[in-house]
Amino acid sequence: MRTPYFSIAVRSENPGHRPSAEDLVRTIIDELKAGRLPAGGRLPPVRTLENQLGISKNTVQAAYDELVARGLLETREREGVFVAQGPDAVPFVETQVSPPSPPLRPVPAIFQRAVPNGSIALSTVLIDPELLPRERVAECARSVLRTPGMQALSDFQGHLGLRELIAARLRKRGIDASAKQVITTIGSQQALDIVARALDVRRVAVENPVYPHARALFENHGLSLVPLQLDPFAGIPLDRWESVLAAARPGLLYCITSFQNPTGYSYSTHELRALLDIAARHGVGLMEDDWGSDMLSGSDVRPALRALGGENVLYVNSFTKKLLPSLRVGFIVARDDLVPALVAQKRLSTLGAPWLAEATLSEFLDRGYFDTHLAALQEALDGRYRRCLETLRELMPSEVRFTTPGGGPTLWLDLPKRVDVPALAQVLLRRGVFIEDATHAFHGEPHLNGFRVSYAYLSEERLRVGLEIAAEEIRRALAT
What CATH number labels 1-98?
1.10.10.10
Does position 171 have pLDDT exceeding 80, yes or no?
Answer: yes
Closest CA to 453 of 397, 399, 409: 409
- Cα–Cα distance, 113 to 422 (Å, whole number): 12
Does position 302 have pLDDT exceeding 90, yes or no?
Answer: no
**What local confidence, expressed as pLDDT, does residue 151 receive?**
59
- State yes or no: cis peptide before 262, omega within 30 of 0: yes
Q: What is the pLDDT of residues 36-62, one digit of tens each?
A: 898 889 999 999 999 999 999 999 999
Mean pLDDT in residue range 267-283: 96
**What local confidence, expressed as pLDDT, does residue 149 receive?**
63
**What local confidence, expressed as pLDDT, does residue 354 receive?**
87
Give the bridge partners for 75, in sequence order. 81
CATH class of segment(s) 112-127+372-479: alpha beta
Closest CA to 191 of 228, 154, 158, 229: 158
Structural domain spans, the chain: 1-98, 112-127+372-479, 132-367
Mean pLDDT in residue range 442-469: 94
* 3-class DSSP assignment, residue 414: strand
Does position 80 have pLDDT exceeding 60, yes or no?
Answer: yes
Average pLDDT of the chain, as a whole number: 92
Does position 115 have pLDDT exceeding 90, yes or no?
Answer: no
Q: In Å, what is the CA distance from 45 to each residue of 1, 30, 84, 139, 215?
A: 15, 19, 16, 49, 54
pLDDT exceeding 90 applies to what percent of the chain? 76
How many residues are there in the chain?
480
Rg of the chain (C-alpha set)? 31
Confidence of residue 232 (pLDDT cuts 50, 70, 90): very high
**What local confidence, expressed as pLDDT, does residue 225 receive?**
97
Q: CATH topology for 132-367?
A: Aspartate Aminotransferase; domain 2 (3.40.640)
**What local confidence, expressed as pLDDT, does residue 274 receive?**
97
